[in-house]
């Protein structure tokens, strides 16, 4: 009995794309998680830069007293921030198409949700990409596990805490002074430094 093997002359475009995406010979590994990571992190970075420079004041408390966080409105690198979404929005998902106009979306702090959600998806995919690369190289997944500690911390301050408080207006502002103000208020209201789970989390990061 004779078996004949015929080699296919050329792979399809999709096969070549799959091979390129999953190749460990690339200078930077992309992977299937990277296919989602790259556009989401680019979207988050682009929106953050534009909002940090030029976003109009945001009615963060929902009481018609907007808070300015951008450089154009008088802030500097230290005091500037992307201000969290309005308390009037609460926990509602607030993409651009849910607002009556772009001005309303900006006034209610829509860019904050755009940045935070895309950023979180991006860093989750970064962890997945690390696991995927380790898997393809025949390594164990402990690098991914190690980097999960800061990702868990980011998820806590950008997603879990606002959900617990009932509004994304309680999320951490995206700026230097805003971060420190968030930490001080968090400590004053919850005494977080004495919480055993927080202590375990800090130990986990290190």
> Is residue 134 scored above 60 in pLDDT?
yes
* pLDDT at residue 26, as a whole number: 83
Tell me the whole-structure pTM to 2 decimals.
0.87
User: Residues 173, 182: contact at Cβ < 8 Å?
Assistant: yes
What average pLDDT does the chain have?
90
- Of residues 68 and 141, which shows the higher confidence score? 68
The answer to whether residue 115 scores a pLDDT higher than 90 is yes
Q: Is the pLDDT of residue 171 over 80?
A: yes
User: DSSP per residue over 65-130, as a string?
Assistant: --B--STTTT--TTT--BPPPPTTTTT----GGGSSSHHHHHHTTHHHHHHHHHHHHHHHHHHHHH
Backbone angles phi, psi at 67, to 5 degrees: -110, 125
Which band of pLDDT confidence, cut at 50, 70 and 90, is reported for residue 113? very high
Mean pLDDT within 160-180: 94
Out of 4-18, 104-118, 164-178, which region has the weakest mean confidence (pLDDT)? 4-18
145 near 127, Cβ under 8 Å? no
| Rg of the chain, C-alpha, whole Å | 22
> pLDDT confidence of 67, banded at 50, 70, 90?
very high
Is pLDDT of 5 > 60? Answer: no
Residues 135 and 115: their CA atoms lie apart, in Å, by 30
Instruction: Measure the CA–CA gap between 4 and 47, rounded to whole angstroms.
Output: 57
Span 82-88, average pLDDT: 94
Model pLDDT, residue 82: 96
Cα dihedral 48, 53, 57, 61 sign: positive
Residue 200 has pLDDT above 60, yes or no: yes
pLDDT at residue 15 tops 60: yes
Tell me the three state secondary structure of residue 60. coil
The domain ranges of the chain are 31-205
- pLDDT at position 174: 94
Q: Considering the domain 31-205 in this protein, what is its CATH number? A: 1.20.85.10
Q: What is the pLDDT of residue 2?
A: 58
- 70-83 pLDDT per residue, tens: 999 999 999 999 99
Over residues 149-162, mean pLDDT: 92
């Amino acid at each position: 009995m004779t078996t004949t093997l015929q080699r296919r002359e050329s792979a399809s475009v999709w096969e070549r794309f799959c091979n390129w995406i999953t190749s460990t010979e690339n200078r930077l590994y992309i992977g299937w998680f990277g296919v989602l990571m790259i556009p989401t992190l680019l979207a988050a970075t682009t929106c953050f830069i534009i909002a940090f420079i030029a976003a109009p004041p945001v009615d963060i408390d929902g009481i018609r007293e907007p808070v300015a966080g951008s450089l154009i409105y008088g802030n500097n690198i230290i005091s500037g921030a992307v201000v969290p979404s309005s308390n009037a929005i609460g926990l509602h998902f607030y993409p651009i198409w849910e607002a009556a106009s772009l001005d309303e979306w900006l006034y209610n702090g829509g860019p904050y949700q755009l940045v935070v959600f895309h950023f979180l998806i991006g860093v989750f995919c970064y962890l997945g990409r690390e696991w995927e690369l380790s898997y393809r190289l025949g390594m164990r997944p402990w690098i991914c596990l190690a980097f999960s500690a800061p990702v868990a911390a980011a998820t806590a301050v950008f997603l879990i805490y606002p959900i617990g408080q009932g509004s994304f207006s309680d999320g951490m502002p995206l700026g230097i002074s805003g971060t420190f103000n968030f930490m001080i208020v968090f400590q004053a209201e919850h005494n977080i430094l004495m919480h055993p789970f927080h202590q375990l989390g800090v130990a986990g990061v290190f």
